[in-house]
Amino acid sequence: MVFDDIDRKLLSLLQSDSKQTNKALANQLNLSVTAVYERIRKLEKNGIVKNYVALVDKSKVQKDFVAFCHIKLVQHSQEYVVKFEREVNLLNEVLECYHLSGDYDYLLKVLVKDMSSFREFMVEKLTKIDHIGSTHSMFMINEVKHTTAIAL
């Protein structure tokens, strides 16, 4: 799909606030309501807009201890990798997991209540997954920036 500057601006608006009415969007884009409606439909249909979500303030729900865990597997056979990735997907403390280049295989972003919850997570959940060789964790001191909006 090809998108122009108006689509880009529209995506930027929707990424910052998806509860705006089509009328409000139309004003900012100098378009008619119908034109905005059609463009949004197209973006959704093409899977460019995946979905709409509410963002929750983690500090307000006692989940503001963020840890980044580097993980190395003992082996890299297909079987081990698939199993590890499936298990990680089931852990709700893990918000993000990336297979990475470099010294370690994976980077996990883990969200829990506090250090003791993190300890529990490591002992009871993460290290219970087979084939984990070594881990190295770093803790967030402060969140400097966090956005879900992709600049186009």
> Which residue ranges make up the site for DNA (CB under 7 A)?
6, 21-24, 30-35, 37-39, 41-42
Asked if 37 touches a second copy (CB under 8 A), the answer is no
Checking 132-135 for CB contacts under 8 A at 24+ apart, the result is 132/71, 132/72, 132/73, 132/74, 132/84, 133/71, 133/72, 133/73, 133/74, 134/71, 134/72, 135/69, 135/70, 135/71, 135/72
Question: What is the x/- site pattern for a second copy, positions 107-146, by CB under 8 A?
Answer: x---x--------------------------xxxxxxxxx
Instruction: Quote the least distance from Cβ 25 to DNA, whole Å.
Output: 8
Residue 22, contacted partner among a second copy, DNA, none, CB below 5-8 A by kind? DNA
Instruction: Write phi, then psi, for 4 (nearest 5 degrees).
Output: -100, -170
Of 38, 79, 96, 130, the one binding a second copy by CB under 8 A: 96
Cα 85 from Cα 96, distance rounded (Å): 11
Interface region with a second copy, contact rule CB under 8 A, candidates 28-36, 72-80, 81-89, 121-129: 81-89
Instruction: Quote the least distance from Cβ 52 to a second copy, whole Å.
Output: 5
Asked if 36 touches a second copy (CB under 8 A), the answer is no
CA distance to 48, 62, 119, per residue, from 6 (Å): 14, 39, 48
7 or 93: CB nearest DNA: 7
CB-CB contact of 131 with 82 (8 Å): no
114 or 143: CB nearest a second copy: 143
Number of Cβ atoms within 10 Å of the Cβ of 25: 21
Instruction: Quote the least distance from Cβ 129 to a second copy, whole Å.
Output: 13
